Amino acid sequence: LTADEASLVQSSWKAVSHNEVEILAAVFAAYPDIQNKFPQFAGKDLASIKDTGAFATHATRIVSFLSEVIALSGNESNASAVNSLVSKLGDDHKARGVSAAQFGEFRTALVAYLSNHVSWGDNVAAAWNKALDNTYAIVVPRL
């Protein structure tokens, strides 16, 4: 990403990244097959798990991962650190049987959440699309 694209992604992420639980709940609501991959959440009513500590813990893990990668973006000297983090995410999720299609679902749900909760101009949308394309080019072949 250019520095300008990275700053659009960073500022829009900052506007929602405190809403960890809402973000994960939106992903699970749209794609129950993702929820069902979690042994502790599989088959449960989303409303009954959303307010639990286990849900908050996992929501924080996902959001923290995204925050870490987003903080590194826009600076070529961080490219190899990003590559290692995202490759490891892919390897760890392959080991759990998570598919590329499910990562695609996650992307769709994340973009839907963002587009409804941040100021979603064309430039912001394009910067996120590029950021996600770059990340998915690393992770998808690992799955």
Which residues contribute to the site for ligand HEM (CB under 6 A)? 34, 37-38, 58, 61-62, 65-66, 89, 92-93, 96, 98, 102-103, 106
99 Cβ contact partners less than 8 Å away, ≥ 6 residues apart: 143
In 3D space, the residue among 119, 114, 2, 123 whose CA is nearest the CA of residue 66 turns out to be: 114
**Least spacing, CB of residue 101 vs ligand HEM, in Å:** 9
Q: How far is the CB of 20 from ligand HEM (least distance, A)?
A: 11
Q: How many CB atoms are closer than 10 A to CB 90?
A: 21
32 vs 121, which CB is nearer to ligand HEM? 32
Query: Exposed, middle or buried, 18 (CB in 10 Å: 0-12/13-18/19+)?
Result: exposed
To ligand HEM, the closest distance from the beta carbon of 53 in angstroms equals 12
Question: What's the rounded Cα separation, in Å, for the pair 12 and 9?
Answer: 5
Q: Least distance in Å: CB of 114 to ligand HEM?
A: 13
Residue in the shown chain whose Cβ atom is closest to ligand HEM: 37
